[in-house]
Chains A and B, each alone.
Chain A
């Protein structure tokens, strides 16, 4: 983490190191509380059941938090996120595993940014897919 990735070190097709997150109620509820999102379906199973879900499920801020962390783990402390755009899919529930994967799809030497196609999968399919744009030092 102390080493920052430089723009010149990155090329299209580079894969980010895989990150598998074993989902627990603590991660899901902890993420909801850290984001001050007390919508009941994210911390109360009976509310989640009433909404048609088998259990509490991850809120979007936590999904974004994990996706951005996944990218900055790779990019290093000098990186700055410019954009996180995701399509949301299958819910993350306790007991499942969220598999984060990423691949560089564009490098902009002028703008100093890199586009990364990211996907967070779970046992139901795509939890979230999208693009993260990050500025790297030259």
Chain B
């Protein structure tokens, strides 16, 4: 559900400048350029060797163009947690935070360069909130894409370059990952286990034992899946479980390419399988060329440990 109160509150931000133009604290200088080149392992002599730079069409030492934004960032001040919002973009983000959209992730960044900055140039930046999308469902959670554009000029008012930035402000839908220690390689992302609650825990526990179970209404005998407290046919809350033979046929399927959910090698085949007992289950079809999968294809279930989670998968019946 789109958040009407939030959307009404953020509408006036669209088209607004962040604030007055930001003027670089320091002119373009060799020390900051060298520090940048050291960090990036950039050995291009146009950034540090005056003689070599003079022989190129640059005509002297120039700053790395992708360093453009570094000239106007505020430095250590950015790390102060108590810093009040200092411009319209930060006010906008604070507004999203108030509404629970606390997550932020940059999705796209586009630089265009008109001219290279020379030592002694002083950069001025003017940033604008260009657009805010409608609410989107993403792998990270629901959120809004915010596009900003920054125009960079030199001391003579000449355009140096521009930057378009797209971020997603979202409601985080996943708990933080476990912290790692040292410089160990990050763990390969695993599949996200299904939450186990009062109404469905028994089904996952059966899978852990290698059994595929079906829930059956004790009153009218209707089968149902996934597990839930009440029969959709007679509204009884009395139920029992019965084992499934694991055989069935493909009712429908998709080959999923996007979004990339952790723990899967994409693309993957996701099928809705009609179990022979008479209910349906969603699972992956594996070890079958995608072009061979078809509606009505006979399949059989195998319970396998995948990415740390026991799950049913289906293969074509041989």
B44 within 8 A of A: yes
B38 within 8 A of A: yes
With both chains docked as a complex, state the minimum distance between the C-beta of B199 and any C-beta of chain A, in angstroms.
28
B53 within 8 A of A: yes
CB atoms of B176 and A51 under 8 A apart: yes
- The residue in chain A whose Cβ has the minimal distance to the Cβ of B165 is A60
CB atoms of A69 and B41 under 8 A apart: yes
* Chain B residues numbered 122-154 whose CB sits less than 8 Å from any CB in chain A: none
CB-CB < 8 A to A52: which residues of B? Answer: 103, 172, 174-177
In whole angstroms, how far apart are the Cα atoms of A30 and B34 in the complex?
12
CB atoms of B179 and A65 under 8 A apart: no
CB atoms of B44 and A96 under 8 A apart: no
With both chains docked as a complex, state the minimum distance between the C-beta of B173 and any C-beta of chain A, in angstroms.
11
- Name the segment of B61-69, B240-248, B271-279, B308-316 touching the other chain: B61-69
CB atoms of B42 and A77 under 8 A apart: no
Q: Which of B41, B57, B66 interacts with A84 by CB under 8 Å?
A: B66
B4 within 8 A of A: no
CB atoms of A64 and B70 under 8 A apart: no
Q: Which of B46, B106, B174, B186 interacts with A93 by CB under 8 Å?
A: B186
In whole angstroms, how far apart are the Cα atoms of A110 and B246 in the complex?
64
A82 within 8 A of B: yes
Size of B's binding interface in residues, CB under 8 A: 59
B13 within 8 A of A: no
CB atoms of B44 and A80 under 8 A apart: no
CB-CB < 8 A to A64: which residues of B? Answer: 66, 109, 111
A11 within 8 A of B: no
Q: Which of A49, A51, A66 interacts with B40 by CB under 8 Å?
A: A66
CB atoms of A35 and B57 under 8 A apart: no
With both chains docked as a complex, state the minimum distance between the C-beta of A77 and any C-beta of chain B, in angstroms.
5
A31 within 8 A of B: yes
CB-CB < 8 A to B260: which residues of A? Answer: 125
In whole angstroms, how far apart are the Cα atoms of A51 and B175 in the complex?
10
CB atoms of B186 and A34 under 8 A apart: no
- Name the segment of B72-80, B88-96, B229-237 touching the other chain: B72-80
In whole angstroms, how far apart are the Cα atoms of A90 and B69 in the complex?
22
- The residue in chain B whose Cβ has the minimal distance to the Cβ of A36 is B73
B107 within 8 A of A: yes
CB atoms of A82 and B42 under 8 A apart: no
Q: Given that A52-B174, A83-B113 are contacting pairs, would A62 and B40 also be in contact in the complex, using a CB cutoff of 8 Å?
A: yes
CB atoms of B44 and A69 under 8 A apart: yes
Q: Given that A39-B79, A61-B69, A81-B65 are contacting pairs, would A96 and B112 also be in contact in the complex, using a CB cutoff of 8 Å?
A: no
- The residue in chain A whose Cβ has the minimal distance to the Cβ of B189 is A124
Q: Spell out A's residues near B (CB within 8 Å).
A: 1-2, 4, 21, 24-25, 27, 30-31, 33-40, 43-45, 49-55, 60-62, 64-69, 72-73, 77-78, 80-88, 93-96, 123-125, 137
13 A-B pairs within 8 Å (CB atoms) are namely A2-B45, A34-B32, A50-B176, A52-B103, A66-B40, A67-B66, A69-B42, A78-B56, A81-B66, A82-B113, A85-B108, A95-B180, A95-B184
Q: Spell out B's residues near A (CB within 8 Å).
A: 32, 35-36, 38-46, 52-53, 56-58, 64-67, 69-70, 73-79, 81, 103, 105-113, 116, 172, 174-180, 182-189, 260
